[in-house]
């Protein structure tokens, strides 16, 4: 096999550990000098390829690449950009292939969620038809934990840990004040169609009656009367009520409670504002004093309290992506396979992208209690290993010390490109 360069890019919403996957890719690629030339990273995801803004990772210090393992955000920049079909925009694909050919890129490693898997699959299929075959490998990443064929997704374990800790700490605050002040606290977390993050908040409870008392899942239709009844019961029984609500909670007719009417590049609804909506509902009906918070970017940026399991898996999947590419694989995703709960063991095996792209894995009904407001022991057994271990970054002057890359671009060889 002739030596070819490798293109790596980050896509979609970032996670606390996506850069660990990047480190896994870059460090592993150096072990294959006969097959892989340089690792060129796309500046701002797939746009880096289209605009020919390719970062030469060999210009970064080894210490900086190692530091990516403990750095949040997307070190190379991410994007939300959907490649349309070949029939809709052939020019876009011709541009990609032109850039890849100009820079001798034979490996395309795309680090993202479900939409990124679709992009990766399209590149693998269309590049061959255009006469310049590209080996396209998808590296899983999503805090939503909704990719199929993998036990879990890098990024989720750390977010689950952050949400569970935040729920426990906030509950202790509310419990200490509820006799004369706040009765209800609502934490809104991410999760468009799947309630994995909201479900993980239940790990905060160690004894019966502990918070969270109510979890709202996208998989369970929201019933206003049943919800308010449960809130009142919790306040009566415990003195307060802690609620964790997934942003994707919806009514029986499928209407999202927090749909703001806007859409992103992939056509997804812009969500947010569920917590204050629920708070007003409780105030107007039950009259309780409340507080609410929206975890939003905080949950997916919280590298300071990342799960060691999550970090290890993110790095391992970046490493595996390079290994399967060098072995000749194409249009696959290295996936995590759980082999044991006690003790927790896992392995990695490639799965076909055709079975990953444009599909979602929701919380199974057996993971949610019969009343729809909590999780079952099966769910707890699934969640607990994923938040295990603390992977603290190094601190300097009381704050985490994170890596910033130089991002030196390689010289351009193609005509300029303007985004349509």
Indicate the pLDDT class of residue 87, thresholds 50, 70 and 90: confident
Helix ranges (H only) for 59-89 are 62-67
CA dihedral 262, 265, 267, 271 (to 10 degrees): -40
Which pLDDT value is given to residue 83?
83
Write the DSSP symbol of residue 204: G
Which pLDDT value is given to residue 128?
85
3-state secondary structure 120-149: HHHHHHHHHHCCCCCEEEEEECCCCCCCCC
Indicate the pLDDT class of residue 260, thresholds 50, 70 and 90: low
Q: What is the spatial distance between Cα 298 and Cα 384, in angstroms, rounded to a whole number?
A: 21
Indicate the pLDDT class of residue 88, thresholds 50, 70 and 90: confident
Which pLDDT value is given to residue 418?
83
Q: Taking Cα atoms as reference points, which of 17, 94, 11 lies closest to residue 305?
A: 17
The mean pLDDT value for 61-70 works out to 98
Residue 210 falls in the annotated catalytic set: no
Q: What is the spatial distance between Cα 100 and Cα 207, in angstroms, rounded to a whole number?
A: 56
DSSP string, 19-39: HHHHHHHHHHHTT-TTTEEEE
The mean pLDDT value for 265-271 works out to 54
Backbone dihedral angles phi then psi of residue 114, each to the nearest 5 degrees: -65, -40
Q: What is the pLDDT of residues 164-184, one digit of tens each?
A: 999 999 999 999 999 999 999
Q: What would the two tokens of residue 164 be?
A: 């569970």
Q: What would the two tokens of residue 102 be?
A: 């100009």
pLDDT at 84 over 90: no
Write the DSSP symbol of residue 92: H
* DSSP H or E run through 116: helix 114-129
pLDDT at 271 over 70: no
**One fold for 4-142+305-358+389-400 and 156-303:** yes
Neighbour-count burial of 359, counting CB atoms closer than 10 A to its CB (0-12 exposed, 13-18 middle, 19+ buried) = middle
What share of the chain has pLDDT > 90, as a percent? 87
Indicate the pLDDT class of residue 267, thresholds 50, 70 and 90: low
Q: What would the two tokens of residue 148 be?
A: 């199929």
pTM of the predicted model, to two decimals? 0.94
CA distances from 314 to 25, 111, 207, 369, 414 (A): 10, 10, 32, 30, 33
Q: Is 345 helix (H, G, I), strand (E, B) or coil?
A: strand
Looking from the CA of 160 toward its CB, the CA atoms found within 13 Å total 31
The mean pLDDT value for 381-401 works out to 97
Q: What is the spatial distance between Cα 373 and Cα 215, in angstroms, rounded to a whole number?
A: 5
The pLDDT mean for the chain works out to 94
CATH ID of 156-303, from 3.10.20.30, 3.40.50.1000, 2.60.120.260, 3.40.50.460: 3.40.50.460
Q: What would the two tokens of residue 321 be?
A: 């992506």
Q: What is the pLDDT of residues 25-59, one digit of tens each?
A: 999 999 999 999 999 999 999 999 999 999 999 99
Q: Beta partners for 292? A: 186
DSSP string, 273-334: -HHHHHHHHHHHHH---EEEEE-HHHHHH-GGG-BHHHHHHHHHHHHHHHHHHHTT--SEEE
What top-level class would CATH report for the domain 4-142+305-358+389-400? alpha beta
Indicate the pLDDT class of residue 322, thresholds 50, 70 and 90: very high
What share of the chain has pLDDT > 70, as a percent? 96
The mean pLDDT value for 59-64 works out to 98
Q: What is the pLDDT of residues 144-164, one digit of tens each?
A: 999 999 999 999 999 999 999
Which pLDDT value is given to residue 82?
82
Give the position of tokens 């300071």.
304
Which pLDDT value is given to residue 269?
55
* Residue of 34, 56, 118, 144 marked active site: 144
Who's near 412: CB < 8 A, 6+ residues apart?
52
Q: What is the spatial distance between Cα 282 and Cα 33, in angstroms, rounded to a whole number?
A: 62
* DSSP H or E run through 168: helix 156-177
Residue 149, phi-psi category: left (phi > 0), alpha (psi -120 to 50), beta (remainder): left
Distance of CA 376 to the CA centre of its chain: 24
pLDDT at 16 over 70: yes
Q: What is the spatial distance between Cα 22 and Cα 385, in angstroms, rounded to a whole number?
A: 23
Output b/e per residue, 321-354; b: 16+ Cβ within 10 A: bbbbbbeebbbbbbbbeeeeeeeeebebebbebe
Which pLDDT value is given to residue 272?
63
Who's near 407: CB < 8 A, 6+ residues apart?
43, 55, 76
Q: What would the two tokens of residue 221 be?
A: 């239709």
Indicate the pLDDT class of residue 199, thresholds 50, 70 and 90: very high
Domain boundaries, the chain: 4-142+305-358+389-400, 156-303
Q: Beta partners for 187? A: 244, 293
Which pLDDT value is given to residue 265?
52
Write the DSSP symbol of residue 408: P
Q: Is 89 helix (H, G, I), strand (E, B) or coil?
A: coil
Which pLDDT value is given to residue 33?
96
């Amino acid at each position: 096999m002739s030596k070819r360069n490798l293109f790596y890019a980050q896509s979609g919403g970032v996670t606390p550990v996506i850069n660990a996957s990047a480190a896994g890719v870059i460090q592993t690629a150096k072990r294959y000098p006969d097959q892989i030339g340089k690792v060129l990273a796309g500046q701002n995801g797939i746009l880096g390829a289209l605009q020919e803004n390719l970062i030469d990772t060999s210009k970064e210090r080894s210490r900086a690449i190692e530091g990516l393992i403990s750095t949040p955000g997307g070190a190379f920049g991410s994007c939300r950009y959907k490649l349309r079909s070949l029939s809709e925009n052939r020019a876009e694909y011709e541009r990609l292939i032109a850039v890849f050919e100009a820079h001798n890129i034979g490996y395309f490693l795309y680090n993202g969620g479900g939409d990124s898997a679709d992009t990766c699959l399209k590149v693998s299929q269309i590049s061959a038809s255009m006469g310049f075959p590209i080996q396209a490998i998808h590296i899983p990443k999503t805090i939503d934990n909704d990719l199929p064929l993998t036990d879990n997704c890098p990024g989720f374990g750390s977010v689950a840990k952050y949400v569970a800790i935040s729920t426990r700490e906030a509950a202790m605050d509310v419990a200490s004040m509820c006799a004369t002040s706040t009765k209800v606290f609502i934490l809104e977390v991410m999760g468009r169609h799947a309630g994995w993050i909201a479900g993980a908040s239940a790990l905060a409870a160690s004894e019966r009656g502990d918070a969270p008392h109510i979890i709202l899942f996208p998989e369970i239709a929201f019933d206003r009367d049943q919800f308010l009844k449960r809130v009142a019961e919790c306040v009566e029984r415990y003195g307060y009520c802690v609620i964790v609500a997934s942003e994707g909670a919806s009514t029986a007719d499928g209407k999202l409670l927090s749909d703001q009417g806007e859409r992103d590049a992939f056509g997804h609804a812009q969500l947010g504002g569920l917590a204050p909506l629920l708070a007003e509902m409780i105030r107007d009906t039950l009259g309780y004093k409340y507080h609410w918070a929206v975890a939003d970017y905080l949950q997916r940026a919280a590298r300071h309290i990342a799960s060691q399991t999550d970090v290890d898996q993110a790095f391992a999947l970046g490493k595996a992506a390079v290994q399967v590419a060098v072995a000749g694989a194409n249009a696959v995703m290295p996936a995590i396979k759980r082999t044991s709960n006690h003790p927790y063991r896992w392995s990695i095996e490639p799965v076909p992208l055709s079975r990953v792209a444009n599909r979602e894995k929701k919380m199974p009904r057996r993971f949610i209690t019969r009343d729809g407001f909590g999780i079952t022991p099966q769910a707890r057994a699934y969640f607990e290993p994923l938040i295990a271990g603390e992977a603290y970054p190094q601190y300097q002057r009381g704050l985490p010390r994170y890596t910033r890359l130089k991002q030196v671009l390689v010289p351009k060889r193609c005509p300029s490109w303007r985004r349509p």
